[in-house]
Structure 1
Amino acid sequence: MREREAGPRAADDDVAATVKAARGMAPEPLPSGFAAIDWSKPWFAQFAARGQRWQQAALAGYANLLAEMNADAARIQPTTGRGQRLAFIAQDDLPPGAAYEGHIASTGCVPTRHNLHDFFNGSMWFAFPRIKAALNARQSAELDVLGVGPTRGGVRDMLTLFDENALLFACADPSLCAALHGFDWQTLFVARRDAWGRGCEVRCFGHALLEKLIAPFKGCTGHAWIVEVPPNYFEWDPAARNAWLDEAVSAALLGTDALTSRMFAPLPVLGIPGWWPENESPTFYDDTSVFRAGRRKR
């Protein structure tokens, strides 16, 4: 999947482009692209324990990757949106004419290509299994009602954006949530910089976003889903935080009828404190081509 490089304004407006570039339209990078994953980067480090094993399998070959993924699936037993046990199959095993999301929901089988896009998609089924199952449940339910047509509809657009490009913004301070919603980058990243790691943090979720971060660029922007967390959240270990986020976000996705793309807030990934050396200087955020005022302020 590829999106044009853009700051928050374009990310806020460019729903159609993101959705159009979703499943089945991604280019097929060479398998050697797996070697480019740098697990020391903060956006990859959260998945490094499993990811490094999968990376070695992917470099050895397509069948090796599928075998490693299925070994984890057999051991951990994640399920789809309709309770089917998860398995990973070759893309060519998807029946002709079958809808991708519907096939996963009804069979448990995730069609997987030998590329970075599907590598990161598979990893999310283990990092946040409940969120992935919730997305699959909503996607397949929409397919049941609307079928596979030339347009996805607003709910499926939103679900695709989440699946492909979401960041989970965990926050215990309402003023920081307001700064993100209001495109107040100076407050969020400069004046309240010391709050990061104590009052807010980010987890990457979108697998297309992770693919883009193989070669990060300043305008790389995710769709942030704000999750209000309890103050003691930041005292928990990473596994406990991920489990809490997994349960809370999946419940919100299943319990909210009117899902729209306007529920996201654009967030430039390289602006996150501690995620990019250059943002140690406050002047990094003076670039208005990336850190824009945004539609809401205009």
Structure 2
Amino acid sequence: MSLAAIDWAQPWFAPYRAMGEAAAQAALRISVAAALQREAAPDFRPTFVPQSELPTGQAYEAHIFQTGTVPTRDNLHDFFNGLVWLAFPEAKRRLNELQAAEIVRAGIGATRGPLRDALTLFDENGAVLDAPGPLWQALAARDWHTLFVTRRALWSETRLWVFGHALLEKLATPRKALTAHVLRLPPPDGGGPAALDDRSLARSLAPEYLAQKPFVPLPVLGVPGWWAGNAAANFYDDSKVFRPGR
């Protein structure tokens, strides 16, 4: 799929729409790195650069941390990665900081280890959900009928961010089985509901918490209003997508 064919009206692209449309149009004429950089604020860091600036054998995350540059290919995957950087810079910098620290601590081996696995999972396929308690309880139990049918009205009080750039890439050509790994933000110190913003997300990315892989699967096209087909209750009867809890 080409950048020109992205349907920016889809709800999962809402946090990225304003910058994304402009950058996608510019990338038809110039490189993806240059198009993303045009959308960045003057004081935005890091800087998007061509993939050729990543030295052979250098770890990608370590390079970003050390140089303040993001090597970027001319493809959808790196385009969406750049958009997430622009929309959620504090959270992305926090992920990169933790990745780089783990690389220094443990080096690059055959496996990433539990923390780098969790960081990569969230970076590639994560989402953040701000929802009333009954929806969280149903999601954690994989009680899909309660989550999407019985308690459907509560979704009007809910916000969902798709954060993972690989998942955004897949959602450019949506299919029913696409599933996010959802992270719930902890409530602020003073209690009350979690604040859903870039800074709060960055603060919640504690390594000891992430290493436990505290994610819940959510088939995103089941979200009310995100896909026309899910208006029918039998949409959720597909056990290959809406799998029962263990």
* TM-score normalised by length of structure 1: 0.77
Does the aligned pair in 1 maintain the 2:98–2:207 contact within 8 Å? no
What residue number does 1:39 align with? 8
What residue number does 2:198 align with? 246
Distance 1:203 1:74 in 2: 22
Letter of the 1:127 counterpart: A
Distance 1:279 1:72 in 2: 35
Does the aligned pair in 2 maintain the 1:221–1:267 contact within 8 Å? yes
Instruction: Give the CA deviation at 1:109.
Output: 0.4
Structure 2: unaligned runs, 5 residues or longer:
none
- Using CA pairs under 8 Å that are at least 6 residues apart, name the structure with larger relative contact order, 1 or 2: 1
Q: Is 1:175 aligned with 2:144? A: no
SS of the aligned residue for 2:160 comes to strand
SS of the aligned residue for 1:196 comes to helix
Q: Is 1:166 aligned with 2:166? A: no
Instruction: Give the CA deviation at 1:61.
Output: 3.3
What residue number does 1:118 align with? 78
Q: Is 1:140 aligned with 2:100? A: yes
1:102-251 correspondence to structure 2 within 5 Å: 102-171=62-131, 173-198=132-157, 200-227=158-185, 244-251=196-203
Instruction: Give the CA deviation at 1:97.
Output: 1.5
Q: Is 1:66 aligned with 2:33? A: yes
Distance 1:248 1:188 in 2: 25
Distance 1:225 1:40 in 2: 25
Identity %: 48
Instruction: Give the CA deviation at 1:38.
Output: 0.2
* Count of equivalent residues: 244
Letter of the 2:2 counterpart: G
Q: Using a 3 Å threshold, how does the CA distance of structure 1 residues 226 and 74 change in structure 2: closer, same or farther?
A: closer
Instruction: Give the CA deviation at 1:248.
Output: 1.7
SS of the aligned residue for 1:262 comes to coil
Instruction: Give the CA deviation at 1:260.
Output: 3.0
Instruction: Give the CA deviation at 1:66.
Output: 2.4
Instruction: Give the CA deviation at 1:95.
Output: 1.2
SS of the aligned residue for 2:185 comes to strand
Letter of the 1:218 counterpart: K
Distance 2:225 2:59 in 1: 40
Distance 1:46 1:249 in 2: 15
SS of the aligned residue for 1:263 comes to coil
Q: Alpha-carbon deviations, 1:133-177, whole Å to 9, x = none?
A: 110011001001011111111100000000000011112x22221
Does the aligned pair in 1 maintain the 2:23–2:38 contact within 8 Å? no
Letter of the 1:207 counterpart: H
Distance 2:171 2:226 in 1: 11
Q: Alpha-carbon deviations, 1:3-31, whole Å to 9, x = none?
A: xxxxxxxxxxxxxxxxxxxxxxxxxxxxx
Does the aligned pair in 2 maintain the 1:166–1:223 contact within 8 Å? yes
Letter of the 1:130 counterpart: E
Does the aligned pair in 1 maintain the 2:48–2:70 contact within 8 Å? yes
What residue number does 1:260 align with? 211
SS of the aligned residue for 2:169 comes to helix
Q: Alpha-carbon deviations, 1:196-248, whole Å to 9, x = none?
A: 131x22111100001001111111111111125689979xxxxxx7xx42122
Distance 1:290 1:96 in 2: 40
